[in-house]
Structure 1
């Protein structure tokens, strides 16, 4: 094993409690990387987690986060035994508001007494000053600790700016304003933490979907056990109205199961013996006995949660821009503040007190809180909303790229079509032949065939209650590339392509039959001729049915401004054209090999830039990989689709695609608006320096207001509907 592989093998994931801002998360990551025995560390601020490559104790990690009083625990250590058997997630004990914010409330109380003393005793009174000082120290102790440490290490972030501003304000005697600034900054941080937690809650709510306990039959007894103790092969009993705790296969019973939590489907799906069911879905009607097929950490819902949390850690282009911008922005603001404080008094005979105050106000207004939080909240909100609607987006980068798509390529089979062949036409020519009797003969022959279309004919026989299992077939054989034949009651029957019957010497393959075959082929159907050596009895046509939603989806995508929709298929041109025209795609490419699909996607990328490919995640892997965004159909239960695609439509439902494009564009617009607004409000506040109108009050209120508005704007993404 290589050194790099060994390091990756030592990966441990921890949940972190107490992050107040993205900058703090970055500082924690740096501190953890300095721990002896740690090779690398990566903080996922969106999911509030850290991945540590190497060895580190909880004590060492908490020491690295002591500047923010961070609490760390292993990701898999939390086992909620207090949760009820009905599967509803255990409720966290709520901390009363006054206890949660006791420090801030105490600080506000001292500030109030300070202003009361100010009006009674005046500004210069020692009691007034002490009350303001007490308010400032109580409300800003954690801020000062971090700020002083940053100053000693020449690290410049928003807490450094605030600490310098507060020290400067105290030196020039602005005790009241400094105390207010400290409190408003604490409120701003609390709002930032609250809004980020609200966004994260959309992911945490997924964790509460699946029950933590299940009723299992063991040794003839039914016992309630924790999901961690359930083994593959156990039989789980799920009563009507209960949630299913684990992935498995139905071995007894019949019911309708609401799979909205996993697939986004609003209509319950019928489940009977041998059907797959997923953890977190709701059994609505009958009693089901389910054989467990996956351990709790491997269930579909567990994989979704894991992938969504990982997705929050993937930095989108706009977030990368903001992080880079903030890195240079903070030192620049400190330089500008210094110039504002010293240039007017030195060169323009300005008052030192006035311009030092203006410089301090510049430091406060320069805090990049709103800018730093503008992107992560938007991405977490959008990805969480999409997951609830049955769309798994595996990173902020893909969320942004979907919004910029110009062309979308669709695989035909299983994407635009259902991927399951069905009998569409059954035309009997001989008036002496009984339709049902002939269908039973056809099915008896096809039952012995290995042809992919045989299943469609057998389904039709079952639907029409035609018995074929008792029919005796003799001398059955397959005619390679042409069809099949067999003897039933002394008569040799043939089923196959028109070419087979043209080659039979006694067959009467007239123009009427040829015209019927061509008409069916033009419609994109596979026509099979049925007959004997001397007579053609019927034509049966089979086709892969088009999804009911395909045409509507293509129309909606065109309305959203997608310039080109292309169907890629290995099918013949006749079938491809028929289906392509039916669904309304703007271009059809038929008879393509996998390599040709790949080459076509590359050409589309050079022509249009951003291109998506939608397929089943297996056959179309090369084309999915070559596209800007690879979208897999039917992620639920399909490990390959979850692993290979950038986006998975969990419910095998194309109708989620226009919603995903709409959500992505809304997210892009909100991120751009947030960044623009955050920078603009800083710029406007800085302009107030020129006439000398900028105060510490205006500075901190502009920063807090920007943070609040950016957060609220981002949280709107949680409400985007289909």
Structure 2
């Protein structure tokens, strides 16, 4: 199976996405996802279906695959009008004179001539039917009628009725040419405004994609080993290529520093504007910026394997998902067009047979019902809010892996924290130490401790070997790591040395509060205490969560005394310590049964617990972002944006509810108002376009709304 990702142009509503989705599934494709706002279409394909055939099929539906094989080979048909603005500008030239004549007190006699109005309307009608008519017919043939069916029906009804009157010689009684032209023209204007406003919901994500294609300074060597530097596009780089990155330049792809030091702005990835100091062997993420310094590096990942690409891919996949709140709106959207057509027919019949306004006025009311109704609003309500919520989150270093997480956040009542690496930095340092044997040299004690611990990968051992590093280390005849005890070694004279936990010192001391005990020939030489510093932002975050009504819980495998000390310092309400991974899972299941619970862990050894929680939130190095089991990843190496993630989830859901309320309310009010003749079709066409703009603007407010 091959994963295909396409950018499809021309989708304007949920029904458009549904049409493409059903077409691709009908071809036997798997994991089909379609996002009409971003135009992203993805699916798994096997060898039984050819991609060019699928592209042609999508083109046949009225859409265009911008990055497909046909587009790359230049087989795309050139169109006279590139977008709705071009169509509007063309149509308004012919429609404006007729609209001017509708203004009270202005009567240009020549414009009252039916043949003049017919001549002005025909170009508009042709352009309108080329777009709305084609789209309507194709959607009807696929069994998924879209909004353009309503627009096309309204325009055809008004134009056909007027043409009939002109041909029979009673044009003055059938003159609705200006209505047909105004509907088409103003809907083009509304669609353009809708497209522009919906584009703003993608603004944050577009900022991420801008950095994907930049120029790079590639380093190459000739036969005489002379260095040559020449510019290349970042997209042409390969893993292992050597590059030079200068002060102020973008890092073109993920890479590792070979030479030099620099201050790097990683805000595009982590949301943190403060520069990070980088030196030899440190990794750089593509898209970050060198604010100061010059480095040489080799490329470690390109294309879809880079951190940025993984982030974009995951956010786009999240956009295509439909949270439960959208399901009712989708069901209504699927039957909306047939229902509105039925209401329009009923409106025509009731007004014609039960009022004295005549067929012409009854037809106008029926047309107004068609053009003022807006199925797009219900389809746009959720995707627009999710696009902004996900975009703002990504811009601030918070990655939501699915849209469901955004909705589930609304009900979170408890936040469970792991300790090491989550509330603390995970980087140990020596706090205090003591030699217990009289007249034993402190330098010799440090030398023994370093010589033992340097062979261990345990974080505590590494902190000791890092701080007490010496060139005068001891040489061992034999050394091994005893699981659960520590390091054990023999020197050339046969002396036995141990650097281990309290288990190794049982019988030598009753004090079990220290981290490392140094023993020689069953004599306790001394002990070492290391501490794991609490993250500087942890206190503020916990205080904010407590003030916001969340219950905070510390769930850790560490000792009771240390957990209680951390909890007391931070103000955490409940402490559960000395838990095995299995016990952690049981506790999380218990907390979930009481109330929806979010679990925050460092993402390294907390994967099962993160998956068990209602929402798993991982603190992670960004390079590991695609491999975490959590639904949400904080990419700024800390807890700072945890309240933002919780707040964004809650307020995105609030925005979705507001959008759906407006979409339903608009249609419930607008359709009856049009049916009783209080709105003209032309005015209804304009309002219809504006209804979607209202939703987009309300969604865009999430970019600035205070959510914490």
TM-score scaled by length of structure 1: 0.83
Q: 1:198 aligns to what?
A: 200
CA contact (8 A) 2:154 2:371 kept: yes
Q: Which moved further from structure 2: 434-443 or 163-172?
A: 434-443
Q: Deviations over 1:163-187 (max 9, x none)?
A: 2222333325422233222212111
Q: 2:66 aligns to what?
A: 72
Residue in structure 1 matching 2:332, options 321, 325, 338: 325
Q: 1:159 aligns to what?
A: 148
Separation of aligned partners in 2, 1:399 and 1:40: 22
Q: 1:598 aligns to what?
A: 585
Does 2:298 correspond to 1:291?
A: yes
Does 2:92 correspond to 1:108?
A: yes
For the structure 1 residues 364 and 269, does the alpha-carbon distance in structure 2 shift closer, same or farther, using more than 3 Å as the test? same
For the structure 1 residues 253 and 366, does the alpha-carbon distance in structure 2 shift closer, same or farther, using more than 3 Å as the test? same
Q: Which moved further from structure 2: 123-132 or 658-667?
A: 123-132
Separation of aligned partners in 2, 1:676 and 1:346: 34
Structure 1 stretches lacking a partner, 5+ long: 1-8, 80-94, 463-467
Separation of aligned partners in 2, 1:152 and 1:496: 75
For the structure 1 residues 605 and 439, does the alpha-carbon distance in structure 2 shift closer, same or farther, using more than 3 Å as the test? same
| Partner-residue secondary structure (3-state), 1:373 | helix
> 1:401: Cα distance to partner?
1.6
> 1:398: Cα distance to partner?
1.6
How do residues 415-454 of structure 1 correspond to structure 2 at under 5 angstroms? 415-427=422-434, 438-447=445-454, 452-454=459-461
Q: 1:82 aligns to what?
A: none
CA contact (8 A) 2:345 2:366 kept: yes
CA contact (8 A) 1:635 1:648 kept: no
Residue in structure 2 matching 1:27, options 14, 19, 40: 19
| Partner-residue secondary structure (3-state), 1:65 | helix
Q: 1:215 aligns to what?
A: 217
CA contact (8 A) 1:28 1:65 kept: no
How do residues 574-585 of structure 1 correspond to structure 2 at under 5 angstroms? 574-585=561-572
For the structure 1 residues 710 and 263, does the alpha-carbon distance in structure 2 shift closer, same or farther, using more than 3 Å as the test? same
> 1:668: Cα distance to partner?
1.3
Separation of aligned partners in 1, 2:203 and 2:456: 54
Q: CA RMSD in A?
A: 3.6
How do residues 109-148 of structure 1 correspond to structure 2 at under 5 angstroms? 109-116=93-100, 119-121=107-109, 123=112, 125-148=114-137
> 1:472: Cα distance to partner?
4.1
Separation of aligned partners in 2, 1:617 and 1:497: 26
| Partner-residue secondary structure (3-state), 2:583 | helix
Q: 2:624 aligns to what?
A: 638
Separation of aligned partners in 1, 2:451 and 2:42: 59
> 1:100: Cα distance to partner?
7.5
> 1:113: Cα distance to partner?
2.3
Separation of aligned partners in 1, 2:457 and 2:30: 56
Separation of aligned partners in 2, 1:112 and 1:451: 78
Separation of aligned partners in 2, 1:395 and 1:76: 32
Q: 2:652 aligns to what?
A: 667
Separation of aligned partners in 2, 1:41 and 1:319: 18
Separation of aligned partners in 2, 1:455 and 1:365: 70
Separation of aligned partners in 2, 1:278 and 1:315: 31
> 1:659: Cα distance to partner?
0.8
Separation of aligned partners in 1, 2:342 and 2:446: 87
| Partner-residue secondary structure (3-state), 2:293 | coil
For the structure 1 residues 174 and 449, does the alpha-carbon distance in structure 2 shift closer, same or farther, using more than 3 Å as the test? closer
| Partner-residue secondary structure (3-state), 2:318 | helix
Separation of aligned partners in 1, 2:536 and 2:501: 29
CA contact (8 A) 2:447 2:472 kept: no
Q: Which moved further from structure 2: 536-545 or 192-201?
A: 536-545
TM-score scaled by length of structure 2: 0.85
How do residues 302-701 of structure 1 correspond to structure 2 at under 5 angstroms? 302-346=309-353, 351-427=358-434, 438-447=445-454, 452-461=459-468, 468-472=470-474, 503-504=507-508, 521=513, 526-529=514-517, 539-562=527-550, 564-608=551-595, 610-638=596-624, 642-688=627-673, 692-701=677-686
For the structure 1 residues 411 and 298, does the alpha-carbon distance in structure 2 shift closer, same or farther, using more than 3 Å as the test? same
Separation of aligned partners in 1, 2:532 and 2:80: 60
Q: Deviations over 1:544-578 (max 9, x none)?
A: 2221222221222223332x222222222222222
CA contact (8 A) 1:337 1:360 kept: yes
For the structure 1 residues 78 and 500, does the alpha-carbon distance in structure 2 shift closer, same or farther, using more than 3 Å as the test? same
Separation of aligned partners in 2, 1:534 and 1:568: 36
Q: Which moved further from structure 2: 670-679 or 349-358?
A: 349-358
Q: Deviations over 1:647-674 (max 9, x none)?
A: 1112222111111112222211211111
Does 2:242 correspond to 1:242?
A: no
> 1:486: Cα distance to partner?
7.5
For the structure 1 residues 601 and 362, does the alpha-carbon distance in structure 2 shift closer, same or farther, using more than 3 Å as the test? same
> 1:143: Cα distance to partner?
0.9
Separation of aligned partners in 1, 2:277 and 2:141: 66
Does 2:21 correspond to 1:48?
A: no
CA contact (8 A) 1:370 1:706 kept: yes
Q: Which moved further from structure 2: 184-193 or 357-366?
A: 357-366
| Partner-residue secondary structure (3-state), 1:285 | strand
Q: Deviations over 1:71-106 (max 9, x none)?
A: 432399989xxxxxxxxxxxxxxx999997333112
Q: 1:169 aligns to what?
A: 158
Q: 2:170 aligns to what?
A: none
CA contact (8 A) 1:685 1:702 kept: no
For the structure 1 residues 451 and 705, does the alpha-carbon distance in structure 2 shift closer, same or farther, using more than 3 Å as the test? closer
For the structure 1 residues 223 and 76, does the alpha-carbon distance in structure 2 shift closer, same or farther, using more than 3 Å as the test? farther
Q: 1:18 aligns to what?
A: 10
| Partner-residue secondary structure (3-state), 1:291 | strand
Separation of aligned partners in 1, 2:17 and 2:522: 82
For the structure 1 residues 581 and 103, does the alpha-carbon distance in structure 2 shift closer, same or farther, using more than 3 Å as the test? same
